Amino acid sequence: MIKNKVVLVTGGAGFIGSNLCESLLNNNNIVKCLDNFATGKRENIEPFLVNPNFTLIEGDIRDLNTCKKAVDNVEIVLHQAALGSVPRSINDPITSNDVNINGFLNMLVAARDAKVKRFVYAASSSTYGDSVNLPKVEEVIGKPLSPYAITKYVNELYADVFYKTYGFESIGLRYFNVYGRRQDPNGAYAAVIPKFTQLLMNLESPTINGDGTNSRDFTYIENVIQMNHLAATTTNPEAIGSVFNTAVGERANLIEMTTLLKEYLKEYNPKVGTVEIIHGPERLGDIPHSLASIEKARRILGYEPSHNLKAGLKEAIEWYWGYFNDVR
């Protein structure tokens, strides 16, 4: 675990970022959070604002001076700030490119100049693109299927060049379909698990894109937190400048995932079991199947996922049940 360090979390008010901030504060770190609240939420970090070890910097990674201010006296950067979502990038590739590539480069330059010791960044499983190989192994990728995928791959290329050129220590984590507490169920680009959970709680039918056989390596937030801590603290030279799948190493299709959601939600409201599932058209830019090999992370970082899909969904649903009922 990261302990007694000064850590910057970019995108710290977002779903993953706020969970990282919480974990870092619980381990006696001084935490800086940089966020422009384009997608992050103030409510995610509200409990931390009274903590003397927490500082909020409201700003945009597209501004180099803001990045320089944020990394001042920082030892570790956990870079989560980005515009996620494949559909968003298809609808607006320019903004996705500006944030995800120009913003990323700003953070690399600022962190390098501030002599940050370790830069851990959120990469993406979308980098595997049209590769049909399963499971996905870090060294074998295909061509990107969306502007978002291009931006995340370019991040990896920049990080690699900064390591080889400047000796700047970075590690990329290719996230696979992360879900869990604080993930926003609302908006046009909401992730499938919180969106479906909210609909089913309201006894409304969720719509699966396609026939439901598309599969994903759904990854609970606790596994992602573990990987960030491991990547930030590893002393294994083989890890530096590399990228790692951040996943469970198991996959479920959308029908299986939705069936589990209904099963667990029935414990709170039996009527959920009667809700029908609707099927819509395939979504442009989607990868048909996704399954990660986590052997590299196991071997080099000592990673072992704490939650499979069933365990993760049970915890996530417990949190969402409380959250949705509180905001009603």
Q: Which residues are catalytic?
A: 148
The string over 93-128, giving b where at least 16 C-beta atoms fall within 10 Å of a residue's C-beta and e elsewhere, is eeebbbbbbebbbbbbbbbbebebebbbbbbbbbbb
From CA 191, how far away is CA 318, in angstroms rounded?
A: 18
Task: Please state whether the peptide bond connecting residue 135 to the residue before it is cis, i.e. omega within 30 degrees of 0.
Answer: yes
The answer to whether 36 and 58 are in contact (CB under 8 A) is: yes
Closest CA to 140 of 130, 152, 150: 130
Token pair, residue 212, equals: 């439901």
Q: Computed over its alpha carbons, how large is the radius of gyration of the chain?
A: 19
Q: Give burial (CB, 10 Å; 0-12/13-18/19+) of 289.
A: middle
Residue matched to tokens 């320089």: 68
Token pair, residue 2, equals: 């990261």
